[in-house]
Structures are given as structure tokens and as C-alpha cells.
Structure 1
Amino acid sequence: MSEAARGGLSPDGAQETRAQCRADALPDDALQGKTEAEAAALLSGCTWRIGERDGKALPGTMDYQAQRRTLGIEKGKVIWVRRG
């Protein structure tokens, strides 16, 4: 999935601002149980990534970004959300 699809960059490649993150109004656990597509829609404008899919860890950076969400996906649904 591209950075643009994950919400980190706008389609033209410009970094999106935090003011555009609609999911900040929701607790992170509100994403649990959502399909990947539903979570992606809620996270539009937010910084996020998938850290695990169906039990397989995916590569990611070790830098800490308090606003970034990392999602665990199993069978197409969000099973966990972590910040940083």
C-alpha cells in the first residue's frame, strides 16, 4: 500500500497536516473490528501504517512519532492499534 493510500502523503506527494486527521476525534480502539478499508477511510489525513498482516510482521521504521498509528490486520480486519 502506498504512503498516499495510508494517509501520510496527499496524492500530489505533499505531506498532509495534522488538522486533516479525522480519526483524532475517536479513541484508537474504535478502529478495532473495522475492515482495513473502513479504517483507511477513518484514517484519511492521518499518519498510519500496517505493522502486521495475518500474523506476519511487516517492515517499519523504529522512529517514534506520537501521532502515528500502527495497525495489526487479520483476515481483513483491524485487531490492534498502537501509537508511535
Structure 2
Amino acid sequence: MSEAVRGGLSPDGAQETRAQCRADALPDDALQGKTEAEAVTLLSGCTWRIGERDGKALPGTMDYQAQRRTLGIEKGKVVWVRRG
């Protein structure tokens, strides 16, 4: 599923915060190993973006947002999570 299909994207491709972030109750590494779809569900209401998919870096901004999570996806699963 493309980021555009999910809706609510900011100009830099980050998912915009619209509700309380449910993933804030979990450590970031709890997303590792989840499928992309599971991660998207957990990140509902959070600021996030995909920074890498199957070894290919995706465009993003260099601004720092402490609440934003950037995900690395490999073969449909989250392999890393970074903040900022």
C-alpha cells in the first residue's frame, strides 16, 4: 500500500498526527518484526514515515521532529525504527 493511499500525508511524506498516538505506549523496538500493515495500524495517530524499503532509501526531510518515527522495511516487515 502506498503512502498516498493511506492519506493524511504531510508535504515531506510523513504521516500527520490526527489523534493520540497509540504506539507511544510501546517501545519503538516493539515495531520491529511487525508487518508493514501491522505497523501502520499501531502507528495510527502518530507522525511517521518510511525511510527505506528493501534497501532503497526514500526521500525525506532533514528536520528533526522528536515524535516522528522513520521505519526501515525489508520484505514487508519493519527491520528498524529511528526517532527524529
Structure 1 length as normaliser, TM-score? 0.81
Is 2:15–2:48's contact at 8 Å kept on the other side of the alignment?
Answer: no
Is 2:13–2:60's contact at 8 Å kept on the other side of the alignment?
Answer: no
Cα RMSD of the aligned pairs, angstroms, is: 3.9
Distance, in Å, in 2 between the alignment partners of 1:62 and 1:26 is 25
5 Å-filtered alignment, 1:1-84, equals 17=17, 20-84=20-84
Distance, in Å, in 2 between the alignment partners of 1:57 and 1:13 is 13
Deviations 1:31-70 (A, max 9, x none): 0000000000000000000000000000000000000000
Gaps of 5+ in 2: none
SS at match of 1:15: coil
SS at match of 1:70: strand
Closer/same/farther in 2, CA of residues 7 and 47 from structure 1, 3 Å limit: farther
Structure 2 length as normaliser, TM-score? 0.81
Distance, in Å, in 1 between the alignment partners of 2:12 and 2:61 is 23
Gaps of 5+ in 1: none
